[in-house]
């Protein structure tokens, strides 16, 4: 199966920039490793988008949302959904799992 095209929401792009900056303040090399791991995880999800469990929420707008940890940075979670025809992998947010995810996602 051909990998899905990856679409990144503006919020997800800001999340990644903030996480990279936060990690880089103490360890620039680890921040670069985070970006590499994130890209690899995005590619994995593009090939196997059903791998992530569904995010449980009562909110209709979050229906179909899934999540998956960033490889080697498993405290960070990628929230995504598969949309459209042709199907696309839509990256909604990238968040640290210790944050109040239900509050952030709405």
pLDDT digit string, tens, across residues 53-72: 999 998 888 999 999 999 99
CB atoms within 10 A of CB 45: 22
Helices 28-47, 10-26: axis angle to 10 degrees equals: 150
Please list, in sequence order, all residues whose beta carbon lies within 8 angstroms of the beta carbon of residue 77, skipping any fewer than 6 positions away. 67, 68, 69, 70, 94, 95, 96, 97, 101
Give the structural domain span for 34: 5-105
Write out pLDDT tens, residues 2-48.
999 999 999 999 999 999 999 999 999 999 999 999 999 999 999 99
Report the predicted TM-score, pTM, of the whole model to 2 decimal places.
0.95
Q: Which residue is associated with the tokens 């944050």?
A: 99
Q: What CATH code is carried by the domain that includes residue 18?
A: 3.30.2310.20
pLDDT at 1: 75
> Into how many domains does the chain fold?
1
Is residue 42 within 8 A of residue 16, CB to CB? The reply is: no
Q: Confidence class of residue 106 from pLDDT cuts 50, 70 and 90?
A: confident
Beta bridge partners of 89: 6, 82
């Amino acid at each position: 199966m051909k990998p899905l095209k990856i679409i990144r929401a503006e919020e997800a792009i800001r999340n990644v920039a903030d996480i990279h900056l936060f990690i880089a303040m103490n360890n620039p090399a680890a921040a670069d490793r985070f970006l590499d791991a994130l890209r690899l995880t995005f590619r994995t999800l593009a090939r196997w988008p059903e791998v992530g469990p569904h995010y449980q929420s009562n909110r209709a707008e979050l229906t179909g949302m899934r999540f998956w940890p960033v490889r080697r940075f498993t405290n960070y979670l990628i929230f995504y959904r598969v949309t459209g025809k042709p199907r696309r992998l839509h990256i909604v947010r990238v968040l640290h799992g210790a944050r109040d995810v239900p509050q952030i996602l709405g």
